[in-house]
Amino acid sequence: MNIVALDQLWVYLSGHPLVSLLATLVAFIAASWLNRKMGGTPLLHPVILSIVLLIGFLLLAGIDYPTYFEGAQFIHFLLGPATVALAIPLYDHLERVRAMLVPILLACCAGIVTAVGSTIGLAALMGAAPETLLSLAPRSVTSPIAMGIAEQVGGIPSLAAGLVLLTGSVGCALGPWILRLMRITDPSVQGFTMGLAAHGFGTAHCFASIGAMAGAFAGLAMALTGLLTAFLLPLMTTLSGL
């Protein structure tokens, strides 16, 4: 029997989609475990941790991003149907949404205008590159929608996705502190605020540490913000002449 040299075997395997798919899942499991060990701190979010682990692994193994993505695209593809699935929690809370429609819509518009306006304003003021600026703009929207928007307005989708993830962890770290400072105790307001500013991360955080009511409102805010920003942002960038 002929035993193939290990390095040859690795050359064959490292280009195989199986390796990146497996590495992504294993990194996510390891990151979730590490985060639990550290007491679930939002500063070391499992997603950020998995990305760091994976980038380290790819650099060490000498695999470039296009090769990695050939395998990881199977996970990435599910973002589309997951975005569609956001209609389910939205439908579940339709009654409450109808009752609070005006405060919800106005707060959502105010939040989006603040998020997009202050982001574009601050970044432009400090002289960011145009691609960075346009990739930063949709950062408070959940990733699948943000990537679509970034593509529409001329940003870089994968950079936008990364910035969205960073925003999520910043929001989880700052949110509870700011809400306490402003003496906001109503869980529906807490949840809605976290979902608007920190999308999926904020939603997960609400379910875990505030309660089901806050979680439901965070999910609603996430879906609504994604939807409204998709319509509002191309309009705002056109108006500001970018």
Residues 114-173 that bind other proteins (CB under 8 A): 114-115, 118-119, 122-123, 126-129, 131-132, 136, 139-140, 142-145, 147-149, 151-152, 156-159, 161-167, 170-171
Which of 179-209 are b and which e, b meaning 16 or more Cβ less than 10 Å from the residue's Cβ?
A: beeeeeeebbbbbbbbbbbbbbbbbbbbbee
Residue 128: both structure tokens together: 């960011």
CB closer to other proteins, 128 vs 213: 128
Can residue 17 be called a binding residue for other proteins (CB under 8 A)? Answer: no
Contact 7, 26 (CB under 8 A): no
- Stretch of 10-18, 36-44, 197-205, 208-216 contacting other proteins, by CB under 8 A: 197-205
Out of 197, 206, 210, 220, the residue judged to bind other proteins by CB under 8 A: 197
Shortest Å distance, C-beta 129 to other proteins: 6
Among residues 82, 208, 211, 240, the one that binds other proteins under rule CB under 8 A: 82
Q: Does 80 bind other proteins (CB under 8 A)?
A: yes
User: Which residue of 9, 11, 22, 110 would you call a contact of other proteins, by CB under 8 A?
Assistant: 110
Q: Does 188 bind other proteins (CB under 8 A)?
A: yes
Q: Please tell me whether residue 216 binds other proteins under the rule CB under 8 A.
A: no
Neighbours of 144 (CB within 10 A): 21
Find out whether 150 and 234 touch, Cβ atoms under 8 Å: no
Residue 88 as a binder of other proteins (CB under 8 A): the answer is yes
Residue indicated by tokens 């699935």: 85
Contact range with other proteins by CB under 8 A, out of 1-9, 10-18, 36-44, 178-186: 178-186
Contacts of 149 (CB under 8 A, 6+ apart): 137, 138, 141, 155, 160, 229, 230, 233, 234
41 binds other proteins per the rule CB under 8 A: no
Indicate whether 69 belongs to the interface with other proteins (CB under 8 A): yes
The answer to whether residue 24 forms part of the interface with other proteins (CB under 8 A) is yes
Q: Does 67 bind other proteins (CB under 8 A)?
A: no
Residue 39's region, left for phi above 0, alpha for psi from -120 to 50, else beta, is left
Answer yes or no: are the C-beta atoms of 50 and 31 closer than 8 Å.
yes
Phi, psi of 127 (to 5 degrees): 75, 45
Asked if 26 touches other proteins (CB under 8 A), the answer is no
Q: Note the Cα 4 to chain centre separation in Å.
A: 43
Contact residue for other proteins among 42, 187, 193, 220 (CB under 8 A): 193
Give the CA distances from residue 187 to residues 77, 99, 174, in Å, rounded to whole numbers and listed in that order: 34, 16, 17
- Cβ 13 to other proteins shortest distance, Å: 19
